[in-house]
Amino acid sequence: MKYSTLGTTGLKVSRLGLGTTTFMGIFARRSPDESVRVLQRGLEAGITLVDTAPSYGEGLAEEWVGRALRGRRDDVVLTTKAGSYAPETFDFSPARIRSGLEDSLRRLGTDHVDVLCAHDIEYGSPEQILGDVLPLLERLRDEGKTRAFGVSGLLLEPLRAAVEQTAVDVVQTYCRYGLHDQSLVGPAAGWRARGVATVLGSPVAMGLLTQAGPPDWHPAHPALRAAARTAAALCAGQGTDLASLAMRYALACPQLDAVLTGAGDPDHLDRNLLAVEAPPDPELLAAVLACFAEVSQRTWPSGNGAWPTSNP
């Protein structure tokens, strides 16, 4: 396993971390025992970064993480979020953030988390997030409820604003660096220069960059879906798989401090672990990147439209 430090926080993390959005059941149903086995297998393999949120399964993911970490809390950098407590339902009020964090700590079986992020900040207003929420998270850090704080989301402009106007430690985004979209590189380099860490979730873009293709609910534009199908067929013809290439590509990015992976079972996790040590094949990589070269819509809308943005 390879390791890095999250910005100036002093928190040492594995380059490959475990995300828990798969525990929501959005791809397939997962049992508690199976999910706990995945987490424990990751710990055995040297993974030290575990990310979750109260909205993942409406608290179930945090409960299962807490179960997996019994007696091992100090072995991991544990991150969770505030502001969303059910899928696509947001409440950034100070009272709810405080009560939601206490609920998260109870489910996780700990008295503090290592990183607390405001969840998908494009669903709040700039005034609320920058003026109220992030100062509150900073106070929660000072109170010892978290060791660091940050923001998460899909849209890059709100994340940029948070870094430039507040004292966040960590930015977490998803689907914004991959075979289909490299728009995160410039912002992440700038954030690193400020001492702010960047963590990428979903390097396979919520199933877009897989041999099976994305689920029906996936918001990708038809042209992007078509390019991904072409890339998957190209990889299959070379005896490999698009998801494996996507994992290797993300892990090779020097601007990223960590990459989160979800895994449905221990074998799936083992396949992802192989990507830590082996960079992508350069010829295949060039051919796959070319599949997306003519696609103009590399991402999709998110949020409530309250943030000014030059980046969809």
pLDDT at 104 over 90: yes
The CATH T-level fold of domain 3-211+249-279 is: TIM Barrel (3.20.20)
H helical segments located in 211-280: 222-237, 242-251, 266-277
Of the two residues 195 and 274, the one the predictor is more confident about is 195
Closest to 302 in 3D by CA, of 106, 84, 59, 94: 84
pLDDT in tens, 35-79: 888 899 999 999 999 999 999 988 989 999 999 999 999 999 999
pLDDT at 242 over 80: yes
Rg over CA atoms, the chain: 18
Count of helix runs (H) and strand runs (E) in the chain = 11, 12
pLDDT in tens, 123-167: 999 999 999 999 999 999 999 999 999 999 999 999 999 999 999
Helix, strand, coil % in the chain, rounded to nearest 5: 40, 15, 40
pLDDT confidence tier of residue 178, bands split at 50, 70 and 90: very high
Predicted pLDDT at 2 = 92
Predicted pLDDT at 132 = 97
Q: Where are the domains of the chain?
A: 3-211+249-279
**CA-CA distance, 30 to 216, in Å (whole number)?**
19
Q: Give the number of other CB atoms < 10 A from CB of residue 102.
A: 11
Closest to 140 in 3D by CA, of 167, 165, 161, 164: 167
Q: Which residues participate in catalysis according to the annotation?
A: 56
Measured CA distances, 278 to 1, 133, 148 (Å): 11, 40, 31
pLDDT confidence tier of residue 308, bands split at 50, 70 and 90: confident
Average pLDDT value for the chain: 93
pLDDT at 311 over 80: no
Relative to beta strand 84-86, strand 146-153 is: unpaired
**CA-CA distance, 88 to 94, in Å (whole number)?**
19
Measured CA distances, 101 to 22, 105, 138 (Å): 21, 6, 13
Predicted pLDDT at 25 = 54
CA 85 to chain centre: 17
Predicted pLDDT at 310 = 65
pLDDT confidence tier of residue 32, bands split at 50, 70 and 90: confident
